């Protein structure tokens, strides 16, 4: 056990929550939850209420528990992650900045001496998480199976939201979609929107850059492959159509919910990360109709299989870009069972014109993954993805500049790292610039750039939801070097100093500031 692990459990004792209902109780006790008792419709009305709350004054931005959703017995919890404070509590810390500090203690951040060491360092996170004892464990009985329906499971009992007027139908918006790699068996947990088609069918919108889509590709290859190995024919004989066992997990520990959205490498189980965040392993139970295991403390589990050969139109959907994404074909999820708690809570989120709840989920990702970014780019001081950039449109990065062209090295490095490869615009500034302050970052980006020399423009992969690119998933990208320029970079003038007050005057004014009556 690492020393930090013991401290972590002591520190989190005051916010111990295993379940979604525990988290609701915590939010209510801390004044961060509003119970909505009047009847409200799951069709559009909840979205309008949440949209006003998300964009309103901070004092009114609360988690909402709709206890009387018209036509349904289950309450709907929404905007539970809709602030920095609530997002931190969801991940079992008091502030989001604790996430990079805790992870930095877990992994070794010393600069690797060679490429082999760098590769080993990059793969060390999974081993480090396993080493501290948070490997998921199996149980025989689970709260998520207090009520089991395999005879006639129906999605109609769930208060699935229709979010925006032109949406193609109701969508499950805060799921943990569990699948396993058809070849390796490694679990993937993804947060993919699911459109309800009928009482037994969902459409799975897993984008081409996500783990679930990779499982679909491999399943297709297995189904159509020749006898190239001993494994493939056996799998093909048992499963002639490329059906993928899957489970849609709803609720449970908020750390598990958030982990489904984390952009982890394919070798790392998202629930392993959730266990580390919780300070204790995630407990699992076997599904009743599929060869999978799911978190025992979940509220609802929809079991079934994804059929890649059953491709149907999905969408439109009012997405986090603030625009509707168009209709595209995705595979169908066929329901084989629904299990749940006796008194479940249905978790949901609404995305749209920012800022909304998903911004804070992304902020948690940004904070937690800073130490991992530094594994490969140790010169990085901080990075930020501002809300208007909706994650992939803008990344601000501050660095310790050490040599000519250093900013360009970082630009290219970021475009080679996981889902940061989808970033459309990256701005690099000097170490003293606070990239968490968009005003300060914009000041540097607009004032420190000669647009004919300090810009890199090229083509590359972009998010599948990007509507501005002229081709799907491929478009233009821009990198901006907004650092102070050096003579070795061709800057022949003397770079000016920032106009700042002397420390002595600042200290002197501090002594009588309160007496000024300002």
Catalytic entry in 167, 269, 307, 319: 319
Instruction: Give which of 412, 416, 422 is closest to 390, Cα–Cα.
Output: 422
Residue at token pair 């590709």 = 217
Phi, psi of 32, deg, nearest 5: -115, 20
Cα 232-237-240 angle, rounded to 5 deg: 95
What are the structure tokens assigned to 209, written together? 């850059």
Give per-residue burial for 39-62: e unless 16+ CB within 10 Å, then b: ebbbbebbbebbbebbeeeeeebb
Cα distance between residue 133 and residue 476, in whole Å: 44
Q: Give the distance from CA 175 to its chain's centroid.
A: 12
CB 398 within 8 A of CB 482: no
CA-CA distance, 300 to 38, in Å (whole number)? 24
DSSP letter assigned to residue 71? T
Q: What is the CA radius of gyration of the chain?
A: 24
Q: Is 253 a catalytic residue?
A: no
Assigned token pair, 171: 């969508």
Residues listed for the chain: 518
- Long-range contacts: 311-317, Cβ < 8 Å, 24+? 312/197, 312/203, 313/168, 314/168, 314/195, 314/203, 314/205, 315/167, 315/168, 315/195, 315/205, 316/166, 316/167, 316/168, 317/163, 317/164, 317/167, 317/168, 317/171, 317/193, 317/195, 317/205
* Burial class of 281 by CB neighbour count within 10 A (0 to 12, 13 to 18, 19+): middle
Long-range contacts, 371-377 (Cβ 8 Å, 24+): 371/100, 371/103, 371/104, 371/107, 371/109, 372/103, 372/107, 372/125, 373/417, 373/420, 374/109, 375/107, 375/109, 375/118, 375/121, 375/122, 376/118, 376/122, 376/413, 376/417, 377/410, 377/413, 377/414, 377/417
Which residues have CB under 8 Å from 367's CB, separation 6+?
A: 96, 97, 99, 100
C-alpha–C-alpha distance, residues 507 and 511, integer Å? 7
The rounded distance, in Å, linking the Cα atoms of 158 and 37 is: 18
Q: How far apart are CA 312 and CA 329, in angstroms?
A: 5
* Distance from C-alpha of 200 to C-alpha of 160, rounded to nearest angstrom: 13
Positions marked active-site = 319
């Amino acid at each position: 056990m690492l020393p930090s692990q013991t401290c972590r459990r002591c520190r989190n004792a005051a916010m111990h929550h295993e379940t979604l209902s525990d988290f609701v109780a915590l939010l209510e006790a801390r004044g961060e939850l509003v119970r909505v008792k009047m009847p409200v419709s799951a069709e559009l009305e909840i979205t309008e209420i949440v949209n006003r709350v998300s964009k309103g004054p901070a004092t009114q931005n609360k988690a909402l528990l709709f206890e009387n959703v018209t036509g349904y017995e289950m309450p709907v919890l929404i905007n539970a992650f809709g602030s920095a404070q609530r997002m931190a509590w969801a991940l079992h810390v008091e502030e989001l900045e604790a996430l990079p500090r805790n992870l930095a203690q877990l992994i070794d951040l010393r600069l690797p001496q060679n490429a082999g060491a760098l590769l080993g360092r990059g793969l060390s996170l999974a081993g480090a998480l396993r080493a501290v004892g948070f490997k998921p464990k199996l149980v025989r009985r689970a709260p998520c199976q207090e009520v089991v329906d395999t005879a006639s499971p129906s999605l109609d009992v769930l208060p699935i939201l229709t979010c925006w007027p032109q949406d193609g139908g109701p969508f499950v918006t805060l799921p943990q979609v569990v699948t396993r790699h058809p070849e390796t068996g490694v679990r993937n947990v993804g947060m993919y929107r699911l459109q309800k088609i009928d009482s037994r069918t969902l459409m799975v919108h897993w984008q081409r850059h996500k783990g679930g889509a990779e499982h679909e590709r491999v399943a297709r290859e297995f189904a159509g492959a020749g006898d190239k190995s001993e494994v493939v024919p056996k799998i093909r004989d048992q499963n002639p159509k490329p059906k993928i066992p899957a489970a849609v997990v709803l609720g449970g520990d908020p750390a598990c919910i958030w982990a489904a959205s984390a952009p982890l490498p394919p070798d790392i189980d998202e629930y392993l990360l959730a266990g580390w965040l919780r300070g204790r392993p995630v407990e699992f139970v076997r599904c009743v109709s599929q060869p999978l295991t799911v978190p025992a403390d979940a509220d609802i589990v929809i079991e079934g299989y994804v059929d890649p050969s059953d491709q149907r139109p999905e969408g439109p959907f009012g997405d986090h870009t603030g625009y509707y994404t168009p209709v595209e074909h995705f595979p169908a999820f066929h329901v084989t069972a629904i299990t749940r708690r006796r008194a479940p809570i249905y978790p949901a989120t609404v995305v749209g014109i920012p800022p909304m709840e998903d911004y804070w989920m992304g902020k948690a990702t940004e904070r937690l993954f800073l130490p991992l970014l530094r594994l490969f780019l140790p010169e990085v001081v901080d990075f930020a993805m501002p809300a208007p950039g909706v994650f992939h449109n803008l990344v601000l990065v501050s660095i310790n500049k050490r040599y000519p062209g250093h900013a360009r090295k970082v630009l290219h490095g970021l475009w080679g790292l996981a889902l940061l490869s989808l970033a459309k615009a990256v701005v690099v500034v000097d170490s003293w610039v606070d990239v968490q302050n968009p005003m300060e970052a914009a000041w540097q980006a607009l004032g420190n750039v000669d647009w004919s020399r300090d810009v890199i423009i090229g083509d590359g992969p972009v998010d599948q939801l990007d509507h501005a690119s002229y081709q799907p998933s491929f478009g233009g990208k821009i990198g901006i070097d907004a650092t102070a320029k050096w003579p070795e970079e061709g800057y022949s003038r003397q770079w000016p100093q920032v106009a700042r007050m002397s420390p002595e005057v600042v200290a002197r004014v501090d002594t009588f500031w309160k007496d000024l009556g300002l």
